[in-house]
A and B are shown apart, each in its own frame.
Chain A
Amino acid sequence: QSALTQPASVSGSPGQSITISCTGTSSDVGGYRYVSWFQQHPGKAPQLVIYDVSNRPSGVSYRFSGSKSGNTASLTISGLQAEDEADYYCGSYAGSSTPFVFGPGTRVTVL
């Protein structure tokens, strides 16, 4: 059972924007600015799309953006494209004893 919660699925039409939420507690998401987001296509390794709440790694599309308010972080994908159809996982630093936790994942479908 994940310490973080995400919606099981989110869908949108090409060109639209969607937002995926990731809710934790003050011990993880709310307590640190170390929230990350990962994209995973079937049969592939995950790819980092956002780190430290809102930073985009080199090579990741500007259409991916991240934010945080309190214990909830969000990933927004703007200008939705067919290639964005994938599973998305949030992750957070959670302190020195259990340093990292993942959310259960959100399946994004492009209609």
Chain B
Amino acid sequence: QVQLVESGGGVVQPGRSLRLSCAVSGFNFNSYGMHWVRQAPGKGLEWVAVISFDGTNKNYAESVKGRFTISRDYSKNTLLLQMDSLRVEDTAVYFCARDCGSYVYDYHGMDVWGQGTTVTVSS
């Protein structure tokens, strides 16, 4: 079945790095844009980053631009998020999600979500 499974979360000190992974199964990974979305404790959803189906387009929220890098490994059907220079305000549950548009460079919404992985940035 269609499934996204995140991993890599944990507790990290401010200024350090963390890499999140999202293992994809049950659909053609090559066909869909993929997002990272986060949710701070008790807060709403915040869009973080997106990578196009072919990996050529990458976009970021202003809050993470220059610190986070999204990528995808087609050989392993895996979405990645490299998070550098972490801040306390990056503390959140991070979800990976599939865009419901295929073979497009505009984004229609997220129709498949992982269960989330928790990132805590604290000294």
Residues of A within 8 A of B (CB): 2, 32, 34-36, 38, 40, 45-48, 51-52, 57, 87, 89, 91, 93, 96-105
* Contact between B95 and A45, CB atoms less than 8 A apart: yes
Q: 10 interchain pairs (CB within 8 A)?
A: A34-B106, A36-B110, A45-B114, A46-B110, A48-B100, A57-B100, A97-B59, A99-B106, A100-B50, A105-B44
| Contact A46/B113 with A98-B59, A98-B62 known, Cβ cut-off 8 Å | yes
* Number of CB contacts from chain A to chain B under 8 A: 75
Inside 8 A of B62's CB, which chain A residues have their CB?
Answer: 98
* Contact between A48 and B109, CB atoms less than 8 A apart: yes
Please provide the 7 A-B residue pairs with the shortest distance between their CB atoms, ordered closest to farther. Answer: A36-B109, A45-B113, A51-B109, A105-B44, A100-B47, A102-B45, A48-B111
Inside 8 A of A105's CB, which chain B residues have their CB?
Answer: 44-45
B34-46 vs A, CB cutoff 8 Å, 1 = contact: the mask equals 0101000000111
* Contact between B111 and A34, CB atoms less than 8 A apart: no
- Kindly report which residue of chain A lies nearest to residue B110, judged by CB atoms: A48
Residues of B within 8 A of A (CB): 35, 37, 44-47, 50, 57, 59, 61-62, 95, 97, 100, 105-111, 113-116
Inside 8 A of A98's CB, which chain B residues have their CB?
Answer: 59, 61-62
- Kindly report which residue of chain A lies nearest to residue B35, judged by CB atoms: A100
Task: State A100–B35 Cα separation when bound (angstroms).
Answer: 10
Query: Told that A87-B44, A96-B59, A99-B107 touch, could you supply 9 new A-B pairs with CB distance under 8 A?
Result: A34-B108, A45-B113, A45-B115, A89-B44, A91-B110, A93-B107, A96-B57, A102-B37, A105-B45
Inside 8 A of B100's CB, which chain A residues have their CB?
Answer: 36, 48, 51, 57
* Contact between B44 and A104, CB atoms less than 8 A apart: yes
- Kindly report which residue of chain B lies nearest to residue A34, judged by CB atoms: B108
* Contact between A91 and B109, CB atoms less than 8 A apart: yes
Task: State A97–B61 Cα separation when bound (angstroms).
Answer: 9
Among the listed A36, A45, A97, A101, which residue makes an inter-chain contact with B116, where contact means beta carbons less than 8 Å apart? A45
Inside 8 A of A87's CB, which chain B residues have their CB?
Answer: 44
Inside 8 A of B105's CB, which chain A residues have their CB?
Answer: 96
| Contact A51/B44 with A34-B106, A45-B95 known, Cβ cut-off 8 Å | no
